[in-house]
Amino acid sequence: MSDAHQGWRAVAVGALQGWVRDASLRPVAHAPDTSAPPDGPHAQQARQGQEIAAHHTGGKHAHPAPGSYRVALGALALRVAPDINAPVLQRLAQGSLLEVLPQAPQAQFSAVQVDGQRGWVETQWLFPAF
């Protein structure tokens, strides 16, 4: 979806599709993370050549197994509850390290802990921290 039409651009974010004004978009450069990798369970599994399993709740969303993950989206909302309208505790920077908790996921949200603070984030914006 990249067609522009009279100042509007078709976009897709995860499973959502829609239109935004061209003026509200700006290019983003992705900078690779240069920090040392964590030594969590996913990193250990990857080094041993093991597959990293994801939780699947039977719905359309696959959820990550508990362990260390990084944030793939700048300003990802850490929310007080698994609801898009729930208050935001903080905004997480792209590349931030967090722990997915062994708590049952709710819809598209996973329970996480970041720097001692617990909350909920949208699962689609997480990737394993190797």
From the number of C-beta atoms within 10 Å of its C-beta (0-12, 13-18, 19+), residue 84 rates as: exposed
Give per-residue pLDDT as tens, 74-108.
Answer: 889 999 999 989 999 999 999 999 999 988 888 88
Q: What's the confidence (pLDDT) of residue 1? A: 45
Lookup: tokens for 90: 């903080």
* Chain-centroid distance, C-alpha 121: 7
Please say if the pLDDT value at position 69 is more than 50.
yes
* H or E element in which residue 23 lies: none
Other CB atoms within 10 Å distance of the CB of residue 61: 20
Higher pLDDT, 47 or 121: 121
Give per-residue pLDDT as tens, 104-117.
Answer: 888 889 999 999 99
Give per-residue pLDDT as tens, 6-23.
Answer: 778 887 766 667 787 877
C-alpha distances (whole Å) from 39 to each of 44, 56, 95, 97, 101 are 7, 25, 16, 12, 16
d(CA 86, CA 44) in angstroms, rounded, equals: 34
Mean of the pLDDT values across residues 55-75? 70
Q: What's the confidence (pLDDT) of residue 103? A: 86
Higher pLDDT, 65 or 44: 65
